[in-house]
């Protein structure tokens, strides 16, 4: 379903599900993940710079939605009881990465420049999908929201899983290309291409901002 088709809808019919998978220190998490999994330090530094650009894109999309009065929901990962709430994904698979999302760890903070406001909801999760084991679906349904605009980290993990579940729960998912990042740019590009073919409408930041203005600017 195209954004153009929502011009006559209530403002709440378009919604951002923001799946941030980073930290407050210019995406050191992405750099650490590259080093831990691939031992490619030079590439890790390059990908950190790339993901800083992704962060700036996310900030611009959030700013536009705030200007237009479009509701934003932030998604945050959190683990308690030494990772037990993360099940097998936490302990056997990625303990040295996912422990950065333990309750009380400052690495859990959203990336620099991305701060939720008091009137914006934060949904807490333990797995890749923002829908799995959370109240997100019921929240969207209760507000009459039928379209999700998704951005964040990582493209192959949280963004893709959330996009798939958004579609399977009956929502129309849009993904902002420049506002998604991963441990390697090639991984992000491959997943964006596949999602665009099978799961969602993947659009550029420029397209997204223009269509948000066209669809919702006149409703202000």
Q: Which residues are catalytic?
A: 158
Instruction: Give the ranges where the chain is alpha helix by DSSP (H).
Output: 28-38, 41-67, 87-88, 95-98, 136-142, 160-168, 185-198, 205-216
b (16+ CB within 10 A) / e for 24-61: bebbbbbbbbbeeeeeeeebbeebbebbbebbebbbbb
Nearest to 202 by CA among 157, 165, 148, 158: 148
Retrieve residue 98's tokens. Answer: 């996912």
Rounded Cα distance between 95 and 88, Å, is: 10
């Amino acid at each position: 379903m195209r954004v153009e088709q929502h011009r006559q809808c209530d403002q709440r019919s378009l919604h951002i599900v923001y799946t941030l998978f980073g930290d407050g220190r210019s995406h050191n998490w992405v750099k650490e993940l590259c080093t831990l999994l691939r031992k490619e330090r030079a590439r890790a530094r390059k990908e950190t710079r790339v993901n800083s650009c992704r962060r700036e894109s996310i900030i611009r999309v959030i700013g536009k939605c705030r200007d237009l009065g479009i509701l934003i929901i932030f998604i945050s990962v959190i683990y308690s009881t030494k990772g037990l709430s993360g099940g097998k994904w936490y302990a056997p698979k990625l303990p040295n990465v996912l422990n950065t999302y333990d309750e009380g760890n400052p690495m859990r903070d959203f990336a620099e420049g991305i701060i939720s406001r008091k009137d914006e909801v934060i949904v807490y999760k333990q797995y890749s999908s923002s829908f799995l084991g959370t109240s997100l679906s019921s929240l969207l349904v209760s507000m009459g929201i039928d379209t999700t605009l998704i951005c964040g980290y990582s493209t192959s993990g949280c963004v893709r899983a959330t996009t798939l579940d958004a579609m399977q729960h009956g929502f129309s998912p849009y993904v902002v290309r420049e506002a998604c990042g991963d441990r390697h740019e090639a991984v992000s590009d491959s997943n964006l291409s596949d999602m665009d073919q099978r799961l969602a409408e993947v659009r550029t930041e420029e397209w997204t901002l223009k269509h948000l203005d066209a669809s919702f600017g006149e409703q202000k």
